[in-house]
Amino acid sequence: MDEATGGWNRADKGDEPARGGRWSTSLALSILLLASLIPLAAVVEGSGWWITAGVAIASVLVPAGVVRSLGGAPWLGSVVGAVTWVLVLVVLFVPDSAILGIVPTVDTVAAVQELAIAAGQSIYVQSVPVDPVTPLLFLLAVGTGAVAVLADVLAVSLRSPAFTGLFALGMLVPPSIFTGSLDMVAYLATAVAFLFVLRSDRPAASSRSARSSSRVGALAVGAAAVAVTIVVGTLVPGFSTRSVVQPDGRSSFGSGVSALADLGRDLLRPGNTPHFAYRTTSTSRQYLRLLTLDRFEGAQWSASGEHPTVAQTDGERLAVPGLTSGVAIEEATVDVEITGLVGDLLPVPFPSVAVAGLRGEWEWDTDGLTVSSGSSSVEGQEYSVTALVIEPTADLLRAAPDDVPDAVAPFLDLPDDVPETVSRVFDEVTAGSATRYDAAYAIQEYLRTEFAYSVSTPIDDGYNGDGFEAIAQFLEARSGYCVHFASAMAILSRMAGIPARVSLGYLPGDRVGSDDGFVAYRVGSNDLHSWPELYFAGVGWVPFEPTPGRGSVPAYAIDASNDSGTDEVPESTVSRAPSATPTPTASDESAVEAGAVARDEPSGLQTGGVALVLLLVVVGVLLSPAAVRSLRRRRRWRAPRGATARDAWDEIVDSATDLGFEVREGDTERDLASRLRRLSLLDPSSADALDRVLAARERERYAHDLGPTADARRLRQDVDRVVEALAASVPVVSRIRAALAPASVLTRRSAADVRPARTG
Amino acid sequence: MTDTSTHRREPRTDAPRALTFDEVHVLASRITRTMESVISGKPDAVQMALTVVLAGGHLLLEDVPGVGKTMLARALGTTVGSRVNRIQFTPDLLPSDVTGVSVYNQVERRFEFSPGPIFANIVIGDEINRASPKTQSALLESMEERQVTVDGTTYPLAKPFTVVATQNPIEMEGTYALPEAQRDRFMARISMGYPSADAEVSMLTRRESANPLDTITAVVTNDELVAMIDAVGSVYVSPAVTHYAVEIARATRSHPDLRLGASPRSTLQLVRAARALAVIDGYEFVLPDHVDRLVRPVFGHRLVATSRALGHSGDSEALISDLLDDVVSATPVPAIAPARH
């Protein structure tokens, strides 16, 4: 040590407090990361996975802390932590492929790949809560360990503990999205742990600098949280990209107790994720159905499942129940490509008579004309549907005989305990309706004109359902969404003696283009919809649209020429965006995007999306030093009381560091100024500017009184001039490096000035 | 400074008037210019000499013979217009030859004190290392105490009082180099160094005609000098700079290559000298750079290198000088907020 004349100075300045601080930082970080994992408990079964996550976090932070306490540099600790983390992963998960169970080999990479693929399959197969099988635990260990490494680098090596809040947020948020609720306990625990992380850095950074760095942190957190959320979402089991990006179709309709309630939930989920795309030869806008609900027992609508089914085969045509030859019919071909929908229900227009091109076993419900499967999934299916476009006239419907065939009689069943409100509304609305069609029209018009579309009111007021009670409240409140409108109209129609059922499916979606006689549409989760279908003898089942602002009213349900004569709903009514749900408006030609026909979309959309997100994150991470640098610059110039000489000087120091000028820790302001002047051969006016900033900084820091306050704008001009001149004096490469990878981000920010101890 | 134009010379009065920093700066510049007209090519030495005088310290000039040590000391004395005495130290010089002696007055039949050459504002001690330790000690004691005690009576020395001692570093017969403890009494030690070729040529040319000292006169009065020294005392030293000076001193104490580091007294003198240098520079507050510039002159003669660090070279001066440069450049200015509201 005696020979090391260079090192004596630092060695003797006492690193003890900082070292202690780092230990407590490591501890606080561990607690923070573990706390942010709490919400995972909702989506992962058991508690064993906690141990795995804890081991992963400890494998990073403990060695890092040990190295630092032995006098290693902060960055060395991070490196050692990362290495031990990798080794622990190898030992725990792929020891067979490694030499002595610990030294990774080429086989290890393959083994890891296998594990990752297995994990992906496991995510795909499992539903929430997932069983923490080994591949998933591996993913968990990788994810939490990676976050621990990054947090350690940020909090200790870069002295920016505030940024760790970003990771905590990134780990907290995905489960919350998934479960749809905020885990307040987890949030509080994480927040407290985060405060400890900030506090543990106190010995080195005063509270003021912690505050200011957390202000920078807060900005960066806002920008990057989303990116990190998605990354962690892909890394942590339970949150495949699917679950974050799209509602899980299976959970909605396949297993749900109440299909309508599930649909409501899916509809309310924020964000519009693609479900499928189709193109059709029909010129009218078709609804696509997944399921019909025919039984109403007072509490909710359900599918009785009592209808005959036939296996689906290509080329076989089905008959449309109730349809007779007196109705104008047009045949259309609809090609569907599933892009995001999951489950065992096939979206088809009504009425469809044939489907071709499906993989797997599918069967028709011959009555509802829906297609479903007990064993296959709609995922990735591409199929062609032959559908009929029925265009009955209002007169035809009005003329339909009142007698109901036996097969349709069950569609009139209603429980006896009809609520008083419902009966009253029924009496009011249908009074004076001469025919069943008039009654149906009156009900539709009543709902369309007197009611408001709202997704929030039913939830807020507690009647978010489709049973008698909910509908009674809905009729009082006159506000709800498609589920309520469809259920209400179906109930009222049955009361009027019209066989009725509720269909679940999709609005026509967004028109994205047309070519070759086809019109292409894209359909997403926001297009989920439900509507009533009413039976008229001779025509069969015809859909109605009672929901205001959603979908379009069929032509036969518009022209009620008997008494009211109102014809205010234009034929080409398109969906208006309701207030609470961002429904994409299917506007006409303006929405046509060149080449955006559904067919042309890559089939590996999902993979591409994930790759894109990862790429964006990588780019984001690479650019984050530049972002931090620019935030610092903005913070300096945007200081509430104007930039001080200190800010101006710091900006010059940082810029000089970025541009590769030597900045020594022991420099006085004057030392640095003269070195810059010497090395960059500043022109006289820039040198004057530098002198002005220098003088202001020296006066601020060393003089008894401030004298005339430095003009913030003048300071900024001077700084800009100096930085410009400095930049001009270095090679282009240095300038690019300064812009993309500013070295000043890595320098320790000088802590805020400490108040001097009061002496005698 | 910007408002030098408003500086007014008021009629001199007996009571020294408080000077503004700007006035001190102007006077200091005048002294510097005058001295530099005599001591050509040595601005640093001139500035350091003036700094020590304004800081109320004592200066040790150490260099080989013939480089102008005495000339610098005398130029300083002449320029400030104070009472200047010169003592040529020789091995047979007695302490009483420096301090003065009580003489029996036959007429008045009592002892009278006859003050020695030390009773002056600027005392030039030439070749102090030639004096016997006993005499050196008498000088150094009075430097520290700023008073002389002869036969039980204490006589205060003049104000200001600065000893400018010269010392020949070359070991010669019959010289007694100042021990470390004694050197500590000097605020700063500087070496003159050889002049540049140009400066030497111009010196030769000018010396041909006349003694350059004859061409200069005092540019400040003694009262003004006292006022300048008083003004220096009120130069502001921020807590950051105070801590900075302490950090540097502490670094020398823990330095493995040093047997003896800087004493607290030397830190005190460092800051005091930095105040003077700040004023000379035209500042009313001390910059860390002022401290930096003074570390070598103020600390250099007080530090003792370990024999191991010295090795075979034996060049203690160069070693300590380099080492102090390293300390200065490695010590950051502590981040301490200015003590203002």
Cβ atoms A488, A269 nearer than 8 A: no
Structure tokens, A630: 């620019």
Structure tokens, A333: 């071909």
Q: Answer whether residue A756 shows pLDDT above 70.
A: no
Give me the half-sphere count of Cα atoms (radius 13 Å) on the Cβ side of residue A391: 12
Q: How confident is the model at residue B171 (pLDDT cuts 50, 70, 90)?
A: low
Q: Output DSSP code: residue A743.
A: G
**Stronger pLDDT, A126 or A383, i.e. the higher one:** A383
Task: Work out the average pLDDT over B128-134.
Answer: 85
Amino acid at B149: T
Apex A749 CA angle, A745 and A751, nearest 5: 165
Interchain proximity A9–B333, CB inside 8 Å: no
Average pLDDT, chain B: 83
Task: Work out the average pLDDT over A412-428.
Answer: 86
Q: What is the spatial order of strands in the sheet that A309-311 belongs to?
A: A309-311, A363-365, A370-372, A345-346
A255 — contact with chain B (CB < 8 Å)?
A: no
pLDDT of res. A456: 75
Count of positions (residues) in chain B? 341
- SS3 (DSSP) at A548: coil
B285 — contact with chain A (CB < 8 Å)?
A: yes
Structure tokens, A41: 């408990």
B77-104 pLDDT tens trace: 888 878 888 889 888 889 888 888 888 8
Interchain proximity A666–B330, CB inside 8 Å: yes
Q: Answer whether residue A752 shows pLDDT above 50.
A: no
Residues of A in contact with B338 (CB under 8 A): 700-704, 753
B159 — contact with chain A (CB < 8 Å)?
A: no
A593-603 pLDDT tens trace: 333 333 333 33
Look-up of token digits 């649209």: A545
Q: How confident is the model at residue A609 (pLDDT cuts 50, 70, 90)?
A: low
Give me the half-sphere count of Cα atoms (radius 13 Å) on the Cβ side of residue A259: 23
pLDDT of res. A705: 73
Give Cβ neighbours of residue B67 (< 8 Å, ≥ 6 apart).
Answer: B192, B193, B194, B195
A14 — contact with chain B (CB < 8 Å)?
A: no
Average pLDDT, chain A: 74
| Same domain? A259 vs A226 | no
A650-701 pLDDT tens trace: 889 989 988 888 888 888 888 899 999 888 888 888 899 999 899 888 888 8
- SS3 (DSSP) at A289: strand
CATH architecture of B235-336: Orthogonal Bundle (1.10)
Q: What is the largest CA-CA distance in chain B?
A: 69
Distances (CA, A) of B281 to A687, B26, B275, B284, B287: 19, 10, 10, 9, 10
Q: How confident is the model at residue B275 (pLDDT cuts 50, 70, 90)?
A: very high
Look-up of token digits 């010089």: B93
Residues of B in contact with A752 (CB under 8 A): 335, 337
Cβ atoms A141, A93 nearer than 8 A: yes
Task: Work out the average pLDDT over A102-120.
Answer: 81
**For residue A429, which of A418, A439, A421 has the smallest C-alpha distance?**
A439
**CA A403 from chain center: how many Å?**
51
B236 — contact with chain A (CB < 8 Å)?
A: yes
**Stronger pLDDT, A467 or A3, i.e. the higher one:** A467
pLDDT of res. B173: 63
pLDDT of res. B248: 92
Strands A500-506 and A479-480, bridge-based pairing: unpaired
Q: Answer whether residue A737 shows pLDDT above 60.
A: yes
pTM: 0.49
ipTM above 0.90, yes or no: no
Give me the residue from A12, A704, A754 closest to B337, CB to CB. Answer: A754
Amino acid at A118: A
Give me the residue from B236, B256, B326 closest to A2, CB to CB. Answer: B256
Q: Answer whether residue A183 shows pLDDT above 70.
A: no
Residues of B in contact with A11 (CB under 8 A): none
Give me the residue from B323, B329, B335 closest to A750, CB to CB. Answer: B335
Q: Answer whether residue A68 shows pLDDT above 60.
A: yes
* A7 occurs within a structural domain: no
Strand partners of residue A274: A524
Mutate to test the interface with B, among A206, A665, A702, A706 (most CBs of B within 10 A): A702
Strand partners of residue B155: B148
B201-210 pLDDT tens trace: 877 777 666 6
* A210 occurs within a structural domain: yes
Give me the residue from A2, A12, A756 closest to B336, CB to CB. Answer: A756
- Whole-angstrom Cα distance, residue B124 to residue B86? 4
B218-267 pLDDT tens trace: 888 888 888 999 899 889 999 999 999 999 999 999 888 888 888 888 99
| Same domain? A47 vs A163 | yes
A9 — contact with chain B (CB < 8 Å)?
A: yes
Q: Answer whether residue B294 shows pLDDT above 90.
A: yes
pLDDT of res. B297: 92
| Same domain? A660 vs A639 | yes
B261 — contact with chain A (CB < 8 Å)?
A: no
A58 CA: distance to closest CA in chain B (Å): 35
Give me the residue from B254, B323, B329 closest to A664, CB to CB. Answer: B329
Q: Answer whether residue A207 shows pLDDT above 50.
A: no
| Same domain? A547 vs A413 | yes
The CA-to-CA distance between both ends of chain B, in Å, stands at: 25
Q: Answer whether residue A203 shows pLDDT above 60.
A: no
Cβ atoms A389, A284 nearer than 8 A: yes
Task: Work out the average pLDDT over A541-547.
Answer: 87
* A193 occurs within a structural domain: yes
Q: How confident is the model at residue A258 (pLDDT cuts 50, 70, 90)?
A: low
Count the domains in chain A: 3
Q: How confident is the model at residue A175 (pLDDT cuts 50, 70, 90)?
A: low
pLDDT above 70 as % of chain A: 74
- SS3 (DSSP) at A505: strand
Look-up of token digits 């020296």: A698
Q: Output DSSP code: residue A99.
A: B
**For residue B190, which of B51, B25, B81, B40 has the smallest C-alpha distance?**
B51
- SS3 (DSSP) at A277: strand
pLDDT of res. A582: 39
Q: How many CB pairs under 8 A join A and B?
A: 88
Q: How confident is the model at residue B288 (pLDDT cuts 50, 70, 90)?
A: very high
**Stronger pLDDT, A555 or B145, i.e. the higher one:** B145
* Domain-ending residue, one of A600, A633, A655: A600
Give Cβ neighbours of residue A175 (< 8 Å, ≥ 6 apart).
Answer: A39, A40, A42, A43, A183, A238, A239
Task: Work out the average pLDDT over A123-131.
Answer: 63
Q: How confident is the model at residue B291 (pLDDT cuts 50, 70, 90)?
A: very high
| Same domain? A592 vs A636 | no
- Whole-angstrom Cα distance, residue A393 to residue A401? 15
Look-up of token digits 């591996």: A138
pLDDT of res. B277: 94
Look-up of token digits 């200190």: A646
**Stronger pLDDT, A742 or B285, i.e. the higher one:** B285
- Whole-angstrom Cα distance, residue A510 to residue A643? 51
- SS3 (DSSP) at A235: helix
- SS3 (DSSP) at A287: coil
| Same domain? A553 vs A689 | no
Residues of B in contact with A653 (CB under 8 A): none
Q: Answer whether residue B188 shows pLDDT above 50.
A: yes
Buried b (16+ CB within 10 A) or exposed e, A417-434: ebbebbeebbeebbeebe
Among A2-6, A702-706, B127-131, the range scoring the smallest mean pLDDT is A2-6
pLDDT of res. A129: 62
Strands A518-524 and B122-126, bridge-based pairing: unpaired
- Whole-angstrom Cα distance, residue A339 to residue A278? 10
- SS3 (DSSP) at A333: strand
Task: Work out the average pLDDT over B162-177.
Answer: 75
**Stronger pLDDT, B280 or A35, i.e. the higher one:** B280
Structure tokens, A66: 């040990």
| Same domain? A25 vs A78 | yes
The domain locations on chain B are: 235-336
Q: Is B153 exposed, middle or buried (0-12, 13-18, 19+ CB in 10 A)?
A: exposed
pLDDT of res. B133: 84
A368-401 pLDDT tens trace: 888 888 777 888 888 988 888 887 888 888 888 8
Q: What are the backbone dihedrals phi and psi of residue A416, each rounded to the nearest 5 degrees, phi first?
A: -75, -30
pLDDT of res. A748: 57
B233 — contact with chain A (CB < 8 Å)?
A: no
- Helix H, strand E, coil C: the string for chain B is CHHHHHCCCCCCCCCCCCCCHHHHHHHHHHHHHHHHHHCCCCHHHHHHHHHHHHCCCCEEEECCCCCCHHHHHHHHHHHHCCCEEEEECCCCCCHHHHHEEEEEECCCCEEEEEECCCCCCEEEEECHHHCCHHHHHHHHHHHHHCEEEECCEEEECCCCCEEEEEECCCCCCCCCCCCHHHHCCCCEEECCCCCCHHHHHHHHHHHHHCCHHHHCCCCCCHHHHHHHHHHHHCCECCHHHHHHHHHHHHHHHCCCCEEECCCHHHHHHHHHHHHHHHHHHCCCECCHHHHHHHHHHHHCCCCEECHHHHCCCCCHHHHHHHHHHHHHHHCCCCCECCCCC
Q: Answer whether residue A87 shows pLDDT above 60.
A: yes
| Same domain? A533 vs A645 | no
Q: Answer whether residue A194 shows pLDDT above 70.
A: yes
* Domain-ending residue, one of A577, A600, A623: A600
B249-260 pLDDT tens trace: 999 998 888 888
A646 — contact with chain B (CB < 8 Å)?
A: no
Task: Work out the average pLDDT over B9-18.
Answer: 52
| Same domain? A24 vs A134 | yes
Query: A129 is in which domain, residue-wise?
Result: 17-245
pLDDT of res. A106: 81
- Whole-angstrom Cα distance, residue A193 to residue A302? 48
* A754 occurs within a structural domain: no
Cβ atoms A479, A452 nearer than 8 A: yes
pLDDT of res. B209: 65
* Domain-ending residue, one of A202, A228, A245: A245
* A403 occurs within a structural domain: yes
| Same domain? A710 vs A578 | no
Residues of B in contact with A751 (CB under 8 A): 335
